[in-house]
Amino acid sequence: MSDRSSTLPTSLPTSSSSVVKNQASAQQVYLSLGSNIEPVWHITAALDALAEIFGRLEISSVYESEAVGFVGDNFYNLVVGVNTSLSVGDLSRRLKAIEDANGRERSGPKFSGRTLDIDILTVAQLTGVVAEVVLPREEIVKNAFVLWPLAEIAGAEIHPQLQMSYTQLWQAYDKLLQKLWPVEFYWRSQKISPR
């Protein structure tokens, strides 16, 4: 890791209330997926489950990165964009069910190996705490394994609090903070990574 600090903010303001728009209409949602325990198996299973729920998926390249916060096997990470009319609470419950179906252990330390981790990054332009989910997720600007794939598929989209595009945020990110690289990945007999 580098001693240099990133030029990006390290924390984002949150509030206990949020401007929640009509959630009956479909909204653009970006999800972060990660796994370091049989990652090809679990990422494939997650994509299958997400496609079953949401239909069309916008999928970034898959990136391999070193574990952050603990010593462990490398992670596979990617970002997936979906459109959904599910409420944030219902969406969160569905994603937790996918994690659980893939053997997610919730009783271990926060920084530890994962069969599957699915985090909600953004829901349209919602900000604040919605159904116990902080929006947008702070890891967007903290972790290269979230920001790079998000910039890849949603580069022109604007961060709802920082008012910068994800491409601009990635350009400003200190690339020496975390090591990661795109890997070859196939899903449903199609090469999806690198893009």
Tell me the per-residue pLDDT of 59-112, one tens digit each, with 9 for 90 and over. Answer: 999 999 987 766 778 999 999 999 999 999 999 999 999 998 987 675 665 555
Domain extent listing, the chain: 27-188
CA Rg value for the chain: 16
Under 8 Å between Cβ of 75 and 65: yes
Taking residues 4-25, report their average pLDDT: 42
Cα gap 68→178, rounded to integer Å: 8
- At 88 the pLDDT is 96
- At 79 the pLDDT is 98
H-helix segments, 21-143:
39-54, 88-101, 139-142
What digits encode the pLDDT tens for the residues 2-12? 333 334 443 34
- At 109 the pLDDT is 57
Taking residues 170-179, report their average pLDDT: 93
pTM of this prediction exceeds 0.75? yes
Taking residues 160-166, report their average pLDDT: 96
Taking residues 117-121, report their average pLDDT: 96
Say what percent of the chain tops pLDDT 70: 83
- At 5 the pLDDT is 37
- At 70 the pLDDT is 63
- At 44 the pLDDT is 97
Q: What CATH number labels 27-188?
A: 3.30.70.560
